[in-house]
Amino acid sequence: MRLPLFAFSLAMGLGHGLGVAGVAHADTPARPATATALPVEGDIVGIHDPVLIREGDTYYLFATNGDSPPATIRLRSSPDLVHWGPRGHVFDKLPEWSTRMVAGGRGAWAPDISFVEGRYLLYYSVSTFGSSRSVVGLATNTTLDPESPNYRWHDEGLVIETTHESDWNAIDPNHVIDRQGRHWLTLGSYWTGIKLFELNRATGKLLEPGAKPISLARRRAPIGGGRPVEAPFIVTRPDHYYLFVSYDYCCKGVESTYYVAVGRANKITGPYVGRDGSKLMDGEGTLIIPVYDEDGRYRGQGHNGFLHDADGRDYLAWHAYDRERDGKPVLRIAPVVWAADGWPVPID
């Protein structure tokens, strides 16, 4: 599917019926045309920007906390990806350096969690709404179990920042390791879009401070117009890298127009293209999560996280605004179904 520069009307009109799985080979079992969300329950309301990880037999979910203040990344856990319960906050308060650098910053946003060489890396952003004065910080831990005597988040400080003069925005970080074992951070939103930086694998910070960002995705717009693209998440697979991004507008309740597109590339640095060859650098790609679900209950669906589970299964988690809960943001999770041609099928 080719997504136009202003794709809300297209996504609304076509929804989940486009981008269906390709024709399987004769010796390959038929794949469903869409994937279906799990019936999640429990502590699933008030969630933005979810990301999943598994430690042992427990799944953990990190998300932007809707409270103000403290808005310092909420933690939830589940034994089965369906039943979710609260497990507290990452910090009691934001690190002092972040509030000093970002005037008016009251909360941490858009966490990303990964496990690297014996420790968990939690990247997060601190900003104010609509501003490019933003910072990305890093916290580390050796366990995710709040009951463990070893559970303690260590503030590792600043990773990267943007100023009011920057033409991109340091929010929505995502850590990724490429097939050669190099570490990267993708992030960004609006303005000139989604960026990529190489990391020092030992510190989790930039390999070259002050390095020029590599551009991965953007939206074109008339002068003064909005350029909504954010929430990048790169998935490394044997033959390609897949870049998921959220287009259009979050955070407007059931009036939100958020949706998720995906492109893939042979190199982590891009270029990323959709199934039909459309370019993410042109604000296009292939639809994976539509603005509305099939029944129209969930609106403005976006900011996904990806989990490759220990059992080999893959999942996407994202937030959506629930018409049956007065438009509050809620958690949604669905298994990822990979078609015979290597593309994820759309989620209904």
Query: Catalytic positions, please?
Result: 49, 230
Report yes or no: 307 and 54 within 8 Å, Cβ to Cβ. yes
Q: b/e map of 277-308 (b: 16 or more CB within 10 Å)?
A: ebbbbbbbbbbbbbbbbeeeebbbbbbbbbbe
Rounded Cα distance between 324 and 331, Å, is 14
State which amino acid sits at residue 53: I
The CA-based angle 60-62-68, given to 5 degrees, is: 140
Residue 294 CB contacts under 8 Å (≥ 6 apart), including other chains: 15, 16, 348
Report yes or no: 207 and 199 within 8 Å, Cβ to Cβ. yes
> What count of other Cβ atoms lies within 10 Å of the Cβ of residue 112?
26
Q: Write down the residue that tokens 């994820």 correspond to.
A: 344
State which amino acid sits at residue 280: L
Tokens standing for 166? 């920057």
Nearest one of 247, 290, 242 to 262, comparing CA atoms: 242
Distances (CA, A) of 102 to 43, 67, 123, 149: 30, 19, 16, 33
Report yes or no: 193 and 214 within 8 Å, Cβ to Cβ. no
For residue 282, which phi and psi values (nearest 5 degrees)?
Answer: -105, 10
Report yes or no: 193 and 168 within 8 Å, Cβ to Cβ. yes
